[in-house]
């Protein structure tokens, strides 16, 4: 019975891709090896040629073609986020969880990451769940928002509804973010 529960849980987990806040790339591995890791660790039935083709496709999706042989130390912060996203996408998930995807990036790169999140959601038909304090990103990528306050969902609605809210907790939060 426990094995059956674990197998069901594993099958649910395989539906999710995750972009860590700091990309969480392994410095000793190339970009290609970092992206391939979820496939290699989880029932790799692909030939080397098929895996390389899939890695190339993921890098194309995140606008980083021909970077397979670079090491993370050779990448900018925005490029690292894109590689982390390519790794999250390689298993073809139904859902992608983004943990503060624009943290530490300049405004132009943040806008670029936001556009990529939105484009990938549309292009790949995946559900994107973005955890962020960046109100500019919220405005750029969100169709629906859930704002958490004191451990509970405090607000649910659209970005326009959030921004136009007269609720003091919401307006204080928005004002503190510089939005």
What sections of the chain are H helices per DSSP? 2-13, 31-41, 48-61, 77-89, 107-124, 135-141, 159-163, 168-176
Q: How far apart (Å, rounded) are the C-alpha atoms in residues 85 and 69?
A: 17
- Label residue 157 exposed, middle or buried (CB < 10 Å: 0-12, 13-18, 19+): middle
Nearest Cα neighbor of 103 from 63, 133, 60, 127 is 133
By three-state DSSP, how is residue 98 classified?
strand
* CA Rg value for the chain: 18
CATH H superfamily, domain 16-133: P-loop containing nucleotide triphosphate hydrolases (3.40.50.300)
For residue 32, pLDDT beyond 90? yes
Residue 125 burial (CB count, 10 A): 8
Residue extents of the structural domains in the chain? 16-133, 143-179
By three-state DSSP, how is residue 46 classified?
coil
Q: How far apart (Å, rounded) are the C-alpha atoms in residues 26 and 29?
A: 6
For residue 149, pLDDT beyond 90? yes
pLDDT (tens digit, 9 = 90+) per residue, 41-99? 876 788 889 999 999 999 999 999 999 999 999 998 889 988 999 999 999 999 999 99
Residue 43 or residue 168, greater confidence: 168
Residue 111 half-sphere exposure toward CB, CA atoms < 13 A: 2
Query: CB–CB of 17/77 below 8 Å?
Result: no
């Amino acid at each position: 019975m426990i094995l059956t529960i674990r197998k069901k849980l594993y099958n649910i987990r395989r539906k999710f891709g995750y972009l860590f806040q700091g990309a969480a790339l392994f410095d000793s591995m190339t970009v290609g090896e970092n992206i391939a890791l979820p496939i290699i660790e989880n029932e790799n039935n692909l030939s080397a040629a098929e895996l390389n083709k899939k890695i190339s496709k993921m890098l194309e999706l995140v606008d980083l073609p021909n970077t397979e042989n670079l090491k993370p130390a050779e990448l900018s912060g925005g490029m690292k986020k894109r590689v982390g996203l390519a790794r999250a996408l390689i298993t073809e998930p139904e859902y992608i969880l983004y943990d503060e995807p624009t943290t530490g990036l300049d405004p132009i790169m943040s806008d670029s990451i936001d556009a990529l999140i939105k484009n990938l959601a549309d292009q790949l038909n995946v559900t994107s769940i973005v955890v962020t304090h960046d109100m500019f990103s919220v405005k750029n990528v969100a169709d629906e928002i859930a704002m958490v306050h004191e451990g509970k969902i405090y607000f649910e609605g659209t970005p326009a509804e959030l921004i136009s809210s007269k609720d003091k907790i919401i307006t204080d939060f928005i004002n503190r973010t510089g939005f």
